[in-house]
Amino acid sequence: MNLKRRYLAALLVFSMILGGVATYTAVQFLQAGTGQAQTNQEESNKQASTDGEGQTSDESVGDILDGLKENNDGELSKVDKAYSLIQEKYVKDTESKELIEGAIQGMLDTLEDPYSTYMDKETMEQFNNSISSSFEGIGTEVSMVDGRVTIVSPFKGSPAEEAGLKPKDQIVSVDGENIEDMDLYDAVLKIRGEKGTTVSLEIDRPGVEENLTIDVKRDTIPIETVYSETKEVNGKKAGVLEVTSFSENTAADFDKKLKELEEKNIDGLVIDVRGNPGGLFTAAQDILENFIPKDTPYVQIENSDGEKKRYVSNLEEKKGYPIVVLIDEGSASASEILAGAMKEAGGYELVGTKSFGKGTVQQALPMGDGSNLKLTIYKWLTPDGNWIHEEGIKPTKKVELPEYYYTNPVQIDKTLEYDMNNDKIANVQKMLEGLGYDSGRKDGYFSKETQAAVEQFQKENDLKVTGTINEETGNKLQSSVVTKVQNKENDTQMKKALDVLFSK
């Protein structure tokens, strides 16, 4: 039960100086197939990024650790005394390990930073084992916000997206177990699981009165992070590169697909980072080397002393064709580095909605006993020196998707019928309107017009015509909306991007 005071002091000083901020993505926990997840401690210890990985400066982990104060006996005398008093005088037996890790977590909590994270040795081992044993999960990034596990963005095409999870959703419980007071890592390990199994998530969604229950069937998450296609617009050929995350191979894949598009003689390019929660800083860096000339920095990194380092490319001149970048509220971190650089240093248009707003860079640092701290060691700034943390990047052309894109899963615990009034009915009314049925209103009151719209929908979809919404009708409404959302012809943001691309 006794622990040498010098060891305790050294450990506490280490953790106090490091502080600690980490964004750990759920895709890192729920699957290891994007290239973002570290598979061993050594690799995680040497990387830093906008999302917990990726080299950002010449300063190594060793340099950071060498800078720690060697003598903090005076500063830690109170902590040392409290530890001794608890050990020697507390009425019950105490465990040294629990006291030390409680002290570390307490210091992290004082930072009031949703990205601050500490993993003890056992959690780190469990995490490494879990991510190295499968490529399976639900495919979404999460962080801790106000003590709740909060979705940053589901990956495009992932089970999470298909089930209807959205940015800023807060996960209240997993399979009926409340996780509000649970550590981020422990919570995410409960969410992940084998392919084919289903996890039930209770969701508190901003603007929705009642919590939602969303079942997500776990699956293999695609490793590929860059997708390309061409579109014809008034006789001109547009290349489209969609980047779903920034992982180890993303930049190389991007370069390869960009070259292929240019060999097809494209007249313009759309880079789509909507729903991209970020990833490796270096991947965003390498992609920007294709577009931002050397006379302008594409990003700036600021340390705790306010010293800034400007990153520039070796590119002689800009591309000879126009470029537009698509962003939305799910575009975070490395996606925002790219968007900010393209907007401010490249002068290119951004189309969509305001981005997430994450302007910090993390590095994994070992505690020496197998445990791990991930902390923010830098801010990143746009080329013009703007810090977008918790603010996001505004598009130059704001375009919302149709309202039905933002509707919630239909959950019927009681049949919805005429003269009722609630949020579930308002949600259904938006769905009906999106599908081409006039419900007369969207405020949640089940009017005669809404009843007529429901009857028409039921008739045209071979359902029993009742004018009420039971589980069968609700499920059909939801699947019809999902089908329409998946139809790229209904993507108003992409349409606007292509229009802007060739507007000059």
Residue positions annotated with a catalytic role: 333, 358, 362
Other residues' Cβ atoms within 10 Å of the Cβ of residue 67? 9
State residue 203 phi and psi, 5-degree precision: -120, 130
Distance of CA 61 to the CA centre of its chain: 25
For 422, the 3-state DSSP assignment is coil
Report residue 322 as tokens.
């126009």
Residues 229, 233, 237: CA angle, nearest 5 degrees: 50
Residues in the chain: 504
Do residues 187 and 202 touch, judged by C-beta distance below 8 A? no
Do residues 230 and 266 touch, judged by C-beta distance below 8 A? yes
* Cα 140 to Cα 113, 135, 145, 187, distances in angstroms: 20, 13, 15, 13
Alpha carbons 220 and 158: distance in angstroms, whole number: 9
Alpha carbons 53 and 229: distance in angstroms, whole number: 29
* Maximum distance among all Cα pairs of the chain, rounded to whole angstroms: 82
Q: At a CB cut-off of 8 Å and minimum separation 6, what does 315 contact?
A: 289, 290, 291, 292, 293, 294
Report residue 412 as tokens.
């019927």
Alpha carbons 210 and 423: distance in angstroms, whole number: 8
Alpha carbons 131 and 152: distance in angstroms, whole number: 20
